[in-house]
Amino acid sequence: MNLELVQCFLRVAEFGSINRAAEDLEMTQPALARRIAALEHDLSVTLLVRGSRGVRLTDAGLILANGARPILRQAELLRAEIGRQVKTQVSIGLPFSMNKLVTAPFASRELDRESPVSLRIYEGFLHHLREWMHQSLIDVAIMEDREDESPQFERIPLVREQVFLVGNADSGLRPDRGVDARQLGRCRLILPGRPNIIRMRVEAYLKQHGEKYRRAADAETLPLCLSLVNDGHGMTVMPYCALYEFPMSTLRAAPIVDLPMTWSMYVNNVRRHSAGVRHIAEGLRNAMVARIRSGEWQMAEALLEAKS
């Protein structure tokens, strides 16, 4: 199988359009269509069905799209190792909630210091990060701590922080006054749907205390959750890191009693001895601890000291 053709197919699958994918790949539409046709001929299957609104994947196309990314990732790593490139590629995955507090500052710092690695950054919900780790698309990930995690990952608990109930300016919530399960059970909540980890933890927390989850809406992004909360349609739940640098003039938040969040670093054992992976893992760990030490990561405690 020609991996270059597979990469072209994945770009079409991503855009849902041969024309848009061709523009992104800086090639003509007929040239890209010929590459897709060549891949279909090689595999003796139809991968795409063309329609008036673009393309959709066949069953065979879905199988290829889901299975090809880990293969391409391994091919990139093998090419780098064989070619002995000066910069080793390291892929990291962080939750959407850490974008402002951790991800963007860490990436900027690595670029400013001319890092010895080529950094690829994935952002996603925690269940997506876990899936990408299992597919070996990610070398290092920050995810919620789980003792039953796969033995193929090294697990390093890093940070424990408070989870907050967030409402609009009229909610009366205060950071110095905790909210218990009974109070949380009276709230109409706006959260992503299952299998979102926060959603599942909130449901379990309420059930444990004899309360029911009251759903106002399922919203699949943090900005949308906060926007709907701000408009008075309900409340949401998230760790403090998700609220960092968010304008709190129109929102209020209160910690939920006995519902902490522990973040751990997971390193893929296949590459944990790589100098590039160790460099990035150590730098990311230090960056997270530094945020706590500076007071920017409020209501959080470091479970591991930064390395000098």
State the Cα–Cα distance between residues 98 and 239, nearest whole angstrom. 9
Q: pTM for this structure?
A: 0.73
State the Cα–Cα distance between residues 87 and 108, nearest whole angstrom. 17
Q: Which residue has the tokens 């919203």?
A: 219
Please report, in tens digits, the pLDDT of each residue of the chain (308 residues total).
777 888 888 888 888 888 888 888 888 888 888 888 888 888 889 998 888 778 889 999 888 888 887 777 777 776 666 555 556 789 999 999 999 999 999 999 988 887 778 899 999 999 999 988 988 889 999 999 988 878 889 999 999 999 999 999 999 999 999 999 999 999 999 999 999 999 999 999 999 999 999 999 999 988 899 999 999 999 999 999 998 877 667 899 999 999 999 999 999 987 878 888 999 999 999 999 999 999 999 889 999 775 55
Q: Which domains does the chain have, with CATH numbers?
A: 3-80 (1.10.10.10), 85-159+262-302 (3.40.190.10), 161-260 (3.40.190.10)
State the Cα–Cα distance between residues 253 and 99, nearest whole angstrom. 19
Enumerate the β-bridge partners of residue 165: 237, 254
State the Cα–Cα distance between residues 102 and 92, nearest whole angstrom. 12
State the Cα–Cα distance between residues 239 and 241, nearest whole angstrom. 6
Distance of CA 10 to the CA centre of its chain: 20
